[in-house]
Amino acid sequence: MFCQRLVVFTRYPVAGAAKTRLIPALGAEGAAAAHRALAERALATALAWADVAGDDNRQVSVWFTGGSEDEVRAWLGEHPRLSFRAQPAGDLGARMAAVFAEAAAAEGERAVIIGTDCPALAPRHIEEAFDAGATVVLGPCTDGGYYLIGAHEPPPAIFADMPWGTDQVLALTVERARAAGVTITLLSEALDDVDRPQDLHILERYKLR
């Protein structure tokens, strides 16, 4: 039986360092508060997916940056299926590659990574990702990025020199995977994420502001 490990990438919500693209609209404190609300919702979704009675093979790992493990634990709390660790050095691609390298090294483990910017993310999306048979599975965002990625040892070229934070990320990832002969699946539902001031209506829709 495979261990299913869901990795949540997040940042400790320090004013001035969290959701910086929202600062012009919300101020530094308001942007950090928005990040805090989004991250807490994402973790609740992750734990709802993990807490399936009779299934002990689901684990959630929070990979964090911007704070100490003690600070992040005090913020997000403890849970029997939850662990914490600091993100390694490098850009987003290098950090994602580290997750999948660890999963490949751990016999019988599969990994899926989510961020915290999509409040519509639900346990069913995570379930669909782990059930996908392709080597790479992506949850598309409506802005051209993705809210979820799962992979079995993806070729490093998929992530190298990626223009993160642009509307090209999803298309380039798909293109590179196919060029490398990697099977790829897109989840059936594209979700909105919260990155810029024009996305603030999404926070209001989910009562996160």
CB atoms within 10 A of CB 146: 24
pTM above 0.85, yes or no: yes
1 or 194: which leads in pLDDT: 194
Going from the N-terminus, what domains does the chain have, and what CATH number goes with each? 3-204 (3.90.550.10)
Token match 């002969």: residue? 181
CB 151 within 8 A of CB 100: yes
What's the pLDDT tens digit per position in 129-139? 999 988 999 99
Rounded to 10°, the helix 23-50/69-76 angle is 80
What's the pLDDT tens digit per position in 67-93? 999 999 999 999 999 999 999 999 999
* Alpha-carbon span 183 to 194, nearest angstrom: 29
| Among the listed residues 124, 131, 138, the one whose alpha carbon sits nearest the alpha carbon of residue 185 | 138
What is the token pair recorded at 195?
């990155």
- For residue 64, is pLDDT > 90? yes
